[in-house]
């Protein structure tokens, strides 16, 4: 009986001992962490009274923890995934601390449509009409990428790759399809957003030289030198038909027959009409607005009605040609230039020798010394002009044409100019402009302005350049290079601004010396075989050039007009 009681008491003692065992505290504030497509981190907190704790992480290849063990009573654990995943993935983190029952935290990362980055630095590119190439850059974190091309005319230097950064070259031949063509390049990588680069190419301009007639010398019999004998002095309708925004866009009245009648009555027997064409043309086809051609013809006819000589040219017109004598622009500009002159020359083909064409105006990259590139490209414009006009046939096969020196500068003409080839002899003029000294002729602000000109007007000890001897030297150089070689020269622009804001004796001295300048330059030009065309911009205010009121033809500056005529006729 005692044995049983002892055994029972042992059992009772043992049972009491198991029931009284104390477990360590282990608490985790979350049981699940869900990371969406744009979230790469999460946190949970461990609280325990155990001496140490430890986390088992079965997904170390994509899931990392800021800590996996420790001794502190409270620990905050940061969970970080290695990037996005195309499929949902989960891992169970098991936390152990002392003798506490393990706690599990489930980390789930949701799937992402895009796992990798994929970018392009271009969304569109344009290949030139004549053909050429463009580039774009691909940057990606994807292990490989590929290109899908839409447009059998588009060529790429490669279609697949594994580089994270690469430059792709896109090229095409000249577009002879007759219409603009468009295509695209789609850049793809698995689990990455696709990118698209639009590719376009305008068609080559259509030919406007349709069925040119046989060469016809009727009414255009005289050579350039013979014709030059009859052109005495000309006048520019400046700041009118060359204005990109419209004939009256720079403040001048619309040109009328009355104005041209007045110009002729004043003693001028030639008119130079600076013209814009690009501003009045379809930029896809280069077709000039027929209404604009008709308007230029209307003004030409005002001059022809008075038996005057007329020059039409390609003027500044926003600088599309004039400011781009660069190899990178040469082919594209010449394409458009050809299209324009095919239309202009065809439209005016039946006029007799009184109408002359001038190819360009002041083509320049800047106002410094030209490089070989600048000269080469500028002279390609001259050659293109002559070749294109001749190709239109009829009277244009013999019409006298005018080509320009670089920036119409005399010194650049002496140093660099080469006359273009022509399939007919002695039918080309050269053109230069003269605004020396700049400080007197054109400078309208800043320091160093010359308000007077001429040895009898400036101080005896003055170092002002560009006086009478300079005029004669410059024109003598032109005579030697061109005129003496049977190439007559148009002095297409010259003049000096009227500084009407001066007052008193300063104004009287300026006015007298300006009139002397106009007389002297005109006379010297004619004596050296140059045909002078005064630049009139129609501006009657301070620093203007106006001789006439454009609205009615009345004379505005009688003194300047008289000076020009003295120079031309004495």
The Cα–Cα gap between 252 and 479 comes to 35
CA angle, 528 then 529 then 532, to 5° = 100
Residue 288 in tokens: 């000039």
Domains and CATH numbers, the chain: 22-109 (2.60.40.10), 118-201 (2.60.40.10), 224-569 (3.20.20.80)
Nearest by Cα to 75 from 56, 114, 49: 49
- Quote the pLDDT of residue 39: 86
pLDDT digits (tens, 9 = 90+) for 215-265: 999 999 999 999 999 999 999 999 999 999 999 999 999 999 999 999 999
- Quote the pLDDT of residue 112: 86
162-166, 178-182, 505-509: least confidently modelled range: 178-182
Residue 46 in tokens: 């461990």
Q: Which helix (H) or strand (E) holds 150?
A: strand 145-150
Q: What share of the chain is helix, strand, coil (3-state, %, to 5)?
A: 30, 25, 45
**Mean per-residue pLDDT, 557-567:** 98
Nearest by Cα to 53 from 26, 22, 31: 26
pLDDT digits (tens, 9 = 90+) for 86-102: 889 999 999 999 999 99
21, pLDDT greater than 90: no
Q: Which helix (H) or strand (E) holds 513?
A: helix 504-527
Residue 570 in tokens: 């004495």
Residue 539 in tokens: 């501006």
- Quote the pLDDT of residue 5: 33
- Quote the pLDDT of residue 246: 96
Active site residues: 362, 493
pLDDT digits (tens, 9 = 90+) for 444-484: 999 999 999 999 999 988 999 999 999 999 999 999 999 99
Instruction: State how far the alpha carbon of 556 is from the alpha carbons of 544, 549, 560, in Å.
Output: 11, 6, 9
- Alpha-carbon torsion, ordered 287, 288, 294, 297, to 10 deg: -120
- Quote the pLDDT of residue 153: 97
310, pLDDT greater than 80: yes
Q: 7: pLDDT confidence band, cut at 50, 70 and 90? A: very low
Residue 485 in tokens: 């070689």
Mean pLDDT of the chain: 94
Instruction: State how far the alpha carbon of 6 is from the alpha carbons of 9, 11, 13, 124, 566, in Å.
Output: 5, 9, 10, 96, 152
Query: What's the number of CA atoms in the CB half-sphere (13 Å) around residue 392?
Result: 25
| Environment class of 89 (CB within 10 Å of its CB; exposed 0-12, middle 13-18, buried 19+) | middle
Q: Answer for the pair 482, 422: CB distance below 8 angstroms, yes or no.
A: no
Residue with tokens 């800021």: 66
The full DSSP string for 35-63 is E-TT--EEEEEEEE-SS-EEEE-TTTTTE
**Mean per-residue pLDDT, 414-435:** 98
Residue with tokens 């985790």: 28
| Environment class of 109 (CB within 10 Å of its CB; exposed 0-12, middle 13-18, buried 19+) | buried
The Cα–Cα gap between 494 and 525 comes to 10
The Cα–Cα gap between 355 and 270 comes to 10
Q: Answer for the pair 526, 231: CB distance below 8 angstroms, yes or no.
A: no
> What is the percent of the chain where pLDDT is above 70?
96
10, pLDDT greater than 80: no
**Mean per-residue pLDDT, 112-132:** 94
325, pLDDT greater than 70: yes
Q: Is beta strand 401-404 parallel, antiparallel or unpaired with respect to 355-358?
A: parallel
The answer for 156, left when phi > 0, alpha when psi is -120 to 50, beta otherwise, is beta
Residue with tokens 């020396």: 436
522, pLDDT greater than 50: yes
- Quote the pLDDT of residue 240: 98
The answer for 5, left when phi > 0, alpha when psi is -120 to 50, beta otherwise, is alpha
The Cα–Cα gap between 511 and 492 comes to 23
- Quote the pLDDT of residue 286: 96
17, pLDDT greater than 60: no
- Quote the pLDDT of residue 460: 87
Q: Residues 34-47, buried b or exposed e (16+ Cβ, 10 A)? A: ebeeeeeebebebe
Q: 19: pLDDT confidence band, cut at 50, 70 and 90? A: low
Residue 257 in tokens: 């027959």
**Mean per-residue pLDDT, 383-401:** 98
Q: Residues 437-455, buried b or exposed e (16+ Cβ, 10 A)? A: bebbbebeeeeeebbbbbe
- Helices of type H across 75-153: none
């Amino acid at each position: 009986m005692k044995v049983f009681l002892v055994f029972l008491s042992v059992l009772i003692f043992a049972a009491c001992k198991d029931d009284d065992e104390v477990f360590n505290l282990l608490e985790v504030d979350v049981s699940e962490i869900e990371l969406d497509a744009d979230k790469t981190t999460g946190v949970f907190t461990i609280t325990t009274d155990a001496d140490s704790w430890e986390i088992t992480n079965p997904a170390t290849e994509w899931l990392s923890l800021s800590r996996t063990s420790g001794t502190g009573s409270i620990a905050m654990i940061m969970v970080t995934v290695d990037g996005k995943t195309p499929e949902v993935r989960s891992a169970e983190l098991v936390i152990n601390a002392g003798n506490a029952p393990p706690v599990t935290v489930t980390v789930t990362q949701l799937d992402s449509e895009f796992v990798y980055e994929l970018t392009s630095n271009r969304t569109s590119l344009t290949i030139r009409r004549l053909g050429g190439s463009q580039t774009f850059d691909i940057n990606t974190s994807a292990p490989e990428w590929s290109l899908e091309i839409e447009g059998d005319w588009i060529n790429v230097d490669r279609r697949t790759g594994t580089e994270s950064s690469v430059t792709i070259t896109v090229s095409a031949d000249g577009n002879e399809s007759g219409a603009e063509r468009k295509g695209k390049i789609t850049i793809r990588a698995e689990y990455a957003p696709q990118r698209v680069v639009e590719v376009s190419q305008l068609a080559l301009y259509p030919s406007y030289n349709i069925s040119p007639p046989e060469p016809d010398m009727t009414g255009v019999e005289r050579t350039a030198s013979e014709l030059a004998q009859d052109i005495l002095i000309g006048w520019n309708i400046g700041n009118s038909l060359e204005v990109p925004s419209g004939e009256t866009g720079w403040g001048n009245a619309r040109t009328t027959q009355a104005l041209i009648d007045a110009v002729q009555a004043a003693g001028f027997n030639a008119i130079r009409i600076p013209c814009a064409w690009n501003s009045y043309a379809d930029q896809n086809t280069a077709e000039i607005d027929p209404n604009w051609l008709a308007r230029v013809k209307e003004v030409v006819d005002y001059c022809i009605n008075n038996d005057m000589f007329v020059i039409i040219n390609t003027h500044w017109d926003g600088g599309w040609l004039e400011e781009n004598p660069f190899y990178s622009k040469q082919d594209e500009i010449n394409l458009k230039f050809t299209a324009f002159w095919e239309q202009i020359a065809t439209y005016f083909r039946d006029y007799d020798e009184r109408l002359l064409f001038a190819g360009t105006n002041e083509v320049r990259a800047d106002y410094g010394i030209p490089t070989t590139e600048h000269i080469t490209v500028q002279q390609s414009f001259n050659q293109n002009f002559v070749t294109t006009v001749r190709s239109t046939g009829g009277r244009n096969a013999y019409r006298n044409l005018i080509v320009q020196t670089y920036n119409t500068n005399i010194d650049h003409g002496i140093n660099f100019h080469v006359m273009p080839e022509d399939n007919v002899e002695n039918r080309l003029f050269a053109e230069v402009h003269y605004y020396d000294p700049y400080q007197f002729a054109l400078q309208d602000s800043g320091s160093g302005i010359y308000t007077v000109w001429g040895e009898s007007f400036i101080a005896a000890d003055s170092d002002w350049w560009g006086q009478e001897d300079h005029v004669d030297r410059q024109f003598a150089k032109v005579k030697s290079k061109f005129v003496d070689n049977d190439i007559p020269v148009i002095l297409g622009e010259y003049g000096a601004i009227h500084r009407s804001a001066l007052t008193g004796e300063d104004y009287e001295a300026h006015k007298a010396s300006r009139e002397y300048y106009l007389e002297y330059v005109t006379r010297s030009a004619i004596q050296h075989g140059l045909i002078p065309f005064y630049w009139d911009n129609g501006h009657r205010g301070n620093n203007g050039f106006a001789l006439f009121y454009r609205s009615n033809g009345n004379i505005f500056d009688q003194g300047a007009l008289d000076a020009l005529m003295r120079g031309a006729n004495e």
